[in-house]
């Protein structure tokens, strides 16, 4: 059975998530959608605001997903799948999760990438983040949650543009766009209609199959170092792409990825990439991660396009590109030394080193 795509709609408090979700669910192609609403606080309202339409939308009552409790999210998706299998709910073909405005979507993404029960049944698809054109800049200036939401987004929707004063609207949108691009250069940025089209029409992102890898990675948008130049996160949030012509030793890659988790942790806002591995240069490895968790690297059957270089895109907090490059270089040297030592001790044929 093919895996069911799960998309996340995130965005700061009042930025228009529920409005977007309702519009999304009204599209003809979305009638087979299950919805999970992550409510903040004891008494949730959002699930009542999401329109159930013709009844084909499944709502999990009472805020059964809590951003702080990854376990309950896993449980909710597991239960939903079982109910689907029993025929207790409509046979949905996709899931959309609306996070609370104060939630960091990172733990939900981690669960989708790493929990074995979810990985078997669901496919982590896209994150859409709503940003309010009126308050977005001020929110990003002051709230790390908003920065984290933005960093993991594949699509950014600029809401409430109609509420901007006519004479300054264009300049405000241009300034906000610059700011958003400094944090996340790879995400598509547009109106609700564009994001809805992308969600309804596009095939799910499946880096494990190498499907549409360019659309998923968008590494060209990361060329040239970029950093946030506004507010509290000025000079602290950076995005960049590490490119390597030479293949990377598999052992060094493993050391590098575990080093990233261990040393960078929550400062690693987002990592995606494709790696040319020395041991199998014809079969690249896809890596991705959010904060402390990196998805187990997945080896593709072949390169998805003509470009055969390693490309790793990063969005980081308080980490410079040079630190990452140094760490990778160090792991490569360590691995080379270890291989050499084993070779000298007679443990490896010379060709392996
Ligand atoms: N004028 C205008 N109002 C909007 C737009 N998007 C959302 N709103 C309004 O903004 C308010 C908040 O929108 P919601 O969709 O509830 O926002 P939310 O992000 O789900 O809010 P929380 O769940 O409380 O974080 C509602 O009154 C919406 O009608 C927009 O593009 N233009």
Question: Is residue 193 domain-shared with residue 223, that is, in the same domain?
Answer: no
Atom 14, ligand 1: residue with shortest CA distance:
16
- Token pair for 65: 């997903």
Question: Is residue 102 domain-shared with residue 177, that is, in the same domain?
Answer: yes
What is the CATH number for 304?
3.30.1220.10
Q: Which parts of the chain are beta strand (E)? A: 4-11, 33-37, 58-59, 94-98, 122-132, 155-159, 188-190, 226-227, 237-244, 268-275, 285-290, 293-294, 298-299, 310-317
Question: Is residue 131 domain-shared with residue 172, that is, in the same domain?
Answer: yes
Q: Considering the domain boundaries, does residue 353 fall inside one? A: no
- Quick check: CB of 23 below 6 Å from ligand 1? no
C-beta separation of 250 from 213 below 8 A:
no
Decide which of 153, 178, 205 is a domain's last residue.
205
Reported pTM: 0.85
pLDDT number for residue 64: 39
pLDDT number for residue 211: 65
pLDDT number for residue 172: 95
pLDDT number for residue 41: 43
Atom 25, ligand 1: residue with shortest CA distance:
13
Question: Is residue 196 domain-shared with residue 93, that is, in the same domain?
Answer: yes
Question: Is residue 72 domain-shared with residue 189, that is, in the same domain?
Answer: yes
Q: Considering the domain boundaries, does residue 336 fall inside one? A: yes
- Quick check: CB of 45 below 6 Å from ligand 1? no
pLDDT number for residue 62: 40
pLDDT number for residue 15: 94
CA distances from 299 to 286, 290, 326, 343 (A): 6, 19, 25, 27
Atom 5, ligand 1: residue with shortest CA distance:
160
Question: Is residue 245 domain-shared with residue 337, that is, in the same domain?
Answer: yes
Decide which of 180, 205, 230 is a domain's last residue.
205
- Quick check: CB of 266 below 6 Å from ligand 1? no
Question: Is residue 261 domain-shared with residue 196, that is, in the same domain?
Answer: no
Q: Domains in the chain: how many in total?
A: 2
Mean pLDDT by groups of 10 residues along the chain of 353 residues: 88 91 82 75 45 43 43 80 82 86 84 90 93 93 90 94 94 94 92 79 72 83 82 87 93 90 87 94 92 84 90 93 92 80 66 46
Q: Which atom of ligand 1 is nearest to the CA of 13?
A: 25
Q: Considering the domain boundaries, does residue 151 fall inside one? A: yes
The residue range of the domain holding 25 is 4-205
pLDDT number for residue 337: 80
Question: Is residue 12 domain-shared with residue 145, that is, in the same domain?
Answer: yes
Q: Which atom of ligand 1 is nearest to the CA of 49?
A: 16
Atom 4, ligand 1: residue with shortest CA distance:
160
CA distances from 49 to 9, 22, 53, 94, 192 (A): 15, 9, 11, 20, 18
Q: Considering the domain boundaries, does residue 54 fall inside one? A: yes
pLDDT number for residue 348: 57
Q: Considering the domain boundaries, does residue 142 fall inside one? A: yes
What is the CATH number for 85?
3.40.50.300
pLDDT number for residue 242: 94
Question: Is residue 183 domain-shared with residue 257, that is, in the same domain?
Answer: no
Q: Which atom of ligand 1 is nearest to the CA of 101?
A: 25
Q: Considering the domain boundaries, does residue 319 fall inside one? A: yes
Decide which of 205, 236, 271 is a domain's last residue.
205
pLDDT number for residue 240: 93
- Partners of 271 in the β-ladder: 289, 314
Q: Which ipTM value was assigned to this complex?
A: 0.98
Question: Is residue 167 domain-shared with residue 294, that is, in the same domain?
Answer: no
Question: Is residue 303 domain-shared with residue 156, that is, in the same domain?
Answer: no
pLDDT number for residue 100: 78
pLDDT number for residue 75: 80
Q: Considering the domain boundaries, does residue 297 fall inside one? A: yes
H or E stretch at 260 = helix 250-264
- Token pair for 316: 């980081």
Spacing, Cα 27 to ligand 1 middle (Å) = 19
Atom 29, ligand 1: residue with shortest CA distance:
19
Question: Is residue 218 domain-shared with residue 195, that is, in the same domain?
Answer: no
Q: Considering the domain boundaries, does residue 230 fall inside one? A: yes
- Quick check: CB of 226 below 6 Å from ligand 1? no
Q: What is the DSSP string of 107-175?
A: HHHHHHHH-HHHHHHEEEEEEEEEEETTTHHHHHHH-HHHHHHHHT-SEEEEE-GGGS-HHHHHHHHHH
């Amino acid at each position: 059975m093919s895996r069911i795509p799960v998309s996340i709609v995130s965005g700061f408090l009042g930025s228009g998530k529920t409005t977007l979700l309702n519009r999304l669910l009204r599209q003809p192609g979305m009638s087979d959608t299950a919805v999970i609403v992550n409510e903040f606080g004891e008494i949730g309202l959002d699930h009542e605001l999401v329109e159930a339409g013709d009844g084909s939308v499944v709502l999990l009552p009472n805020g059964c997903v809590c951003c702080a409790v990854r376990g309950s999210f896993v449980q909710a998706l597991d239960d939903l799948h079982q109910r689907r299998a029993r025929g207790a709910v409509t046979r949905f073909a996709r899931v959309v999760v609306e996070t609370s405005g104060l939630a960091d979507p990172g733990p939900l993404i981690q669960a989708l990438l790493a929990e074995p029960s979810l990985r078997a049944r669901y496919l982590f698809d896209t994150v859409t983040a709503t940003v309010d054109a009126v308050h977005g800049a001020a929110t990003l200036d002051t709230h790390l949650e908003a920065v984290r939401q933005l960093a993991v987004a594949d699509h950014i929707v600029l809401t409430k543009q109609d509420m901007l004063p006519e004479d300054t609207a264009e300049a405000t949108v241009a300034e906000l766009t610059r700011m958003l691009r400094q944090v996340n250069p790879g995400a598509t940025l547009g109106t609700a209609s564009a994001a809805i089209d992308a969600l309804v029409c596009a095939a799910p992102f499946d880096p494990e199959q190498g499907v549409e890898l360019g659309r998923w990675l968008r590494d060209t948008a990361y060329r040239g170092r970029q950093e946030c130049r506004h507010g509290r996160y000025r000079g602290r949030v950076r995005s960049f792409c590490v490119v390597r012509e030479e293949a990377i030793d598999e052992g060094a890659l493993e050391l590098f990825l575990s080093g990233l988790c261990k040393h960078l942790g929550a400062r690693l806002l987002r990592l995606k990439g494709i790696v040319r591995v020395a041991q199998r240069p014809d079969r690249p490895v896809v890596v991705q991660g959010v904060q402390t968790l990196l998805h187990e690297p997945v080896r593709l059957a072949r390169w998805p396009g003509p470009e055969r270089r390693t490309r790793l895109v990063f969005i980081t907090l308080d980490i410079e590109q040079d630190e990452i490059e140094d760490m990778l270089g160090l792991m490569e040297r360590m691995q080379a030394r270890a291989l050499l030592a084993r070779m000298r001790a007679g443990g490896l044929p010379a060709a392996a080193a």
